[in-house]
Amino acid sequence: MHHSSYAPSSVSFHKTVLDTMVLLRGPSETCGLLIGHTAASHTHVSSIHVATNRARRTQRRFKIDATDLLAAAAAAQADASELVGVFHTHPEGSASPSPLDAAHAALWSPLLWVIQGRESELGVFVIEAAGERWRRVRVVSSVPP
Ligand SMILES: [Zn+2]
């Protein structure tokens, strides 16, 4: 899945995606797959597929259900879109990657990591080609011209 040219510097979310993410707040980590388009270093997220968290201890980690991953990929393809990111929450933490996230970073490269913190704040990151290095992606309210 590695594309060396994939380097979005900004991201925007459809309102329904933002609303859904807020609803995913809870005592356990919740997760989902983000579908949209990337063009000219901007990613627009048009939909979210909520996924089952298969981790044994969901308070501190997430593991996206494989069937949900395949369903999201199929939905993206049917919609002429792409899988652009992975979403998860930190119910008691900040909207930045945890050490556990870093351990799984390579698995989801080059997708965007969208993390929702305890106050429903969002942090969006990509993993630099060197690996283990997170770069923050700016969240903007609409697709730039
Ligand atoms: Zn995390």
89-117 per-position pLDDT tens digit = 999 999 999 988 988 877 777 799 999 99
Give the list of residues 6+ apart from residue 21 with CB closer than 8 angstroms, or none: 13, 32, 48, 87, 114, 116, 120, 122
- Measure 98 CA to ligand 1 centroid, in angstroms: 5
What are the backbone angles phi and psi of residue 15, rounded to the nearest 5°? -55, -40
Per-residue exposure over 106-131, b if at least 16 CB sit within 10 Å of its own CB, e if not: eebbbbbbbbbbeeeebbbbbbeeee
- Measure 38 CA to ligand 1 centroid, in angstroms: 23
Statement: residue 118 has pLDDT above 60: yes
pLDDT band at 54 (very low <50, low <70, confident <90, very high): very high
Statement: residue 77 has pLDDT above 70: yes
- Measure 17 CA to ligand 1 centroid, in angstroms: 19
- Measure 4 CA to ligand 1 centroid, in angstroms: 24
Q: Given this model, what pLDDT does residue 60 score?
A: 86
- Measure 51 CA to ligand 1 centroid, in angstroms: 15
Quote the pTM value. Answer: 0.90
- Give me the CATH topology for the region 10-139: Cytidine Deaminase; domain 2 (3.40.140)
